[in-house]
Amino acid sequence: MGKVYDALRRAEEERRQGGATRAGTPAPALEPRSGRTAQPGAPGRSEGVAGLRRWLRRDAAPAGDDANSVNKRRISLLHPDSFVAEQFRTLRARLDALATERPLRTIALTSALPDEGKSTAAVNLALVSAMSVGRRVILVDCDLRRPRIHGSLGLRPEYGIAEVLNEQVPLASAICKVDGCSLEVLPVRGTPSNPSELLASSRMRALLEELAQSYDEVLLDTPPTLSLPDAKTLSEIVDGVLLVVRADETPAEDVEAALDVLDRRRLLGIVLNGAESDAHRYGY
């Protein structure tokens, strides 16, 4: 347990200092196809895959939720025919294959440390899943301290998951629909004083059961595993867990420590984020 303790201590120190300084964008690269307008600041076609990879991986210093950061996290919505979106479709297909062998209605995405790209992965996986014909998908923001989902998708919620768990509003009042697609979101509106206790409550378990009955797929964006107890708590009540790891940056000992913390029986696999690869390969 020494490695786990050391990793937890490092993560707590990092969280106090404002988090890691890594870019939070997954995926190797993409090149916008003709007929689509590249988003502001994005490299043009002439710069090719390498240029767009540099754009996706820049801004290593914390920049908050500026327009560039937000656009990275919803790239499957802005460029649904891009190479990046196709990689998330491949991930969706692999999850669908696993779903034929075991129930997979509720899936949590987490990372070992902050800024590994878990929210980006959650948003884009939810977007491409919602593009499936006849599939109802909801994305639940379970990061009650640093919520990113509503900002990434341009939502302005009146209520959120905390209000639902505190029984202040019914579930239907807190669910938002994303413009331009069929994805629905249960965001964070108010940040409660007891987030870990809310996520560990019987109300949270009941909420997931209710969502699993109403939707074909329920995706949860959870806090980093080594920073807080929330991911471990949620890993024990979902059908499956995906661990997002940033290629060449996440220390191997932190990955091992996160795997020791999570419920391995529900671990579906590791999403390798930010891998340097060509347009024909993408690591998970």
Q: What are the start-end ranges of the E strands in 230-275?
A: 240-246, 267-273
Residue 210, domain CATH: 3.40.50.300
- State the Cα angle at 181 between 280 and 79, rounded to 5°: 35
Residue 118 within any structural domain of the chain: yes
3-state secondary structure (DSSP) of residue 200:
coil
Q: Give Rg (Cα) of the chain.
A: 18
Compute the distance between CA of residue 105 and CA of residue 199 in angstroms, rounded to an integer. Answer: 18
pLDDT digits (tens, 9 = 90+) for 169-192: 999 999 999 988 899 999 999 999
pLDDT digits (tens, 9 = 90+) for 3-34: 544 554 554 455 445 433 333 334 333 232 23
Of how many residues is the chain composed?
284
Give pLDDT, residue 214. 97
Provide the number of structural domains found in the chain.
1
pLDDT digits (tens, 9 = 90+) for 37-70: 333 344 443 444 444 444 344 433 334 555 555 5
Instruction: State the DSSP H helix or E strand holding residue 156, giving kind and residue range, or none if neither.
Output: none
Residue 114 within any structural domain of the chain: yes
What value does the mean pLDDT of the chain take?
78
Range 99-102 contact pairs with CB under 8 angstroms and sequence separation of 24 or more: 102/239, 102/240
Give pLDDT, residue 83. 73
pLDDT digits (tens, 9 = 90+) for 103-134: 999 999 999 999 899 999 999 999 999 988 89
Q: 40 is in which domain, residue-wise?
A: 2-273
Asked whether the beta carbons of 53 and 149 are under 8 A apart, the reply is: no
Asked whether the beta carbons of 224 and 118 are under 8 A apart, the reply is: yes
